[in-house]
């Protein structure tokens, strides 16, 4: 397995995104992800990544950052036109940065119409970006009340209905633990649809403690993708990176 640092949460002591890339590079990471990298010029990001021979592998869409606003809108019926305007913008930015994975956020919605909108938008997005690995991620209702996709089994059903070869599941151990408790049991049900893993400790989303059994299961199942730390450090980021050795 390969490890990755989510720079939207890790290395907050370093400052902004460019400074966090520096900190991650010095800590030995060669891959990072950013939830919403749209605020910095792509060339500046690429230049800083190149300094450490580092790759930005994953980002969220649509832009911009959801601070104070909607947390995506792929499942929001009234915003379908907006999703289809903004997705190409996100795709262009991802291509400029060399990003190979993009997480499509469902947004806050509920009901049959929202589900149908989500399926239609995911199928459309997959057709627009056949060479991009697109991801959907169940997010727990405590962290994001009202978020449409908050169930792993429903996520698999949606993947089956969309039936796009470039659409798969993002498995976040923090959200799995918040929803069901035992992350290994959740993985046993849905791991065959997962192409990207994020980790964090529940319930406070700090360092991912007690993940050894989960890492063992990933290895046993032959998972060869990235394991990304996406959590809020309880102190200095570098003091809480024991999971990196455990995951490799």
Out of 33, 70, 113, 137, the active site residue is 137
Is the pTM higher than 0.85? yes
Report pLDDT for 209.
87
Report pLDDT for 65.
56
Q: Residues near 47 by Cβ (< 8 Å), separated by ≥ 6?
A: none
Q: Quick check: helix, strand or coil at residue 167? A: strand
- Report the C-alpha gap between 35 and 143 in whole angstroms: 16
First to last CA, the chain: 6
Contact between residue 213 and residue 188 where contact means Cβ atoms under 8 Å apart = no
230 is an active site residue:
yes
110 is an active site residue:
no
Structure tokens at 190: 């849905």
CATH of the domain at 92: 3.20.20.150
- Report the C-alpha gap between 84 and 74 in whole angstroms: 9
Residue-number span of the structural domain to which 137 is assigned: 2-247
Report pLDDT for 68.
58
* Tally of domains within the chain: 1
Note the residue count of the chain.
248
pLDDT tens, N- to C-terminus, the chain (248 residues) = 999 999 999 999 999 999 999 999 999 999 999 998 988 999 999 999 999 999 999 999 986 655 556 778 999 999 999 999 999 999 999 999 999 999 999 999 999 999 999 999 999 999 999 999 999 999 999 999 999 999 999 999 999 999 999 999 999 999 999 999 999 999 999 999 999 999 999 999 999 988 999 999 999 999 999 999 999 999 999 999 999 999 98
């Amino acid at each position: 397995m390969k490890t990755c640092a989510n720079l939207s949460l890790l290395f907050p002591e370093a400052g902004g995104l460019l400074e966090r890339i520096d900190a991650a590079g010095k800590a030995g990471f060669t891959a990072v992800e950013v939830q919403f990298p749209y605020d910095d010029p792509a060339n500046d990001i690429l230049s800083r990544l190149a300094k450490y021979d580092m790759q930005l592998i994953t980002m969220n869409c649509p832009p911009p950052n959801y601070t104070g606003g909607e947390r995506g809108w792929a499942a929001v019926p009234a915003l379908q036109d907006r999703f289809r305007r903004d997705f190409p913008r996100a795709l262009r930015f991802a291509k400029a940065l060399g990003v190979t994975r993009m997480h499509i956020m469902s947004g806050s919605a509920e009901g049959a119409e929202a589900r149908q909108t989500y399926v239609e938008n995911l199928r459309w997005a997959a057709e627009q970006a056949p060479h991009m690995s697109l991801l959907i991620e169940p997010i727990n209702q405590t962290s994001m009340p009202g978020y449409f996709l908050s169930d792993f089994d429903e996520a698999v059903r949606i993947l089956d209905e969309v039936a796009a070869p470039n659409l798969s599941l993002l498995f976040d151990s923090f959200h799995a633990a918040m929803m069901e408790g035992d992350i290994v049991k959740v993985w046993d049900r849905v791991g065959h649809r997962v192409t990207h893993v994020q980790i964090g400790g529940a319930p406070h989303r700090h360092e991912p403690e007690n993940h050894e059994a989960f890492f063992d299961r990933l290895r046993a199942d032959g998972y060869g993708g990235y394991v990304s730390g996406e959590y809020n450090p309880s102190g200095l980021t570098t003091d809480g990176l024991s999971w990196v050795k455990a995951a490799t």
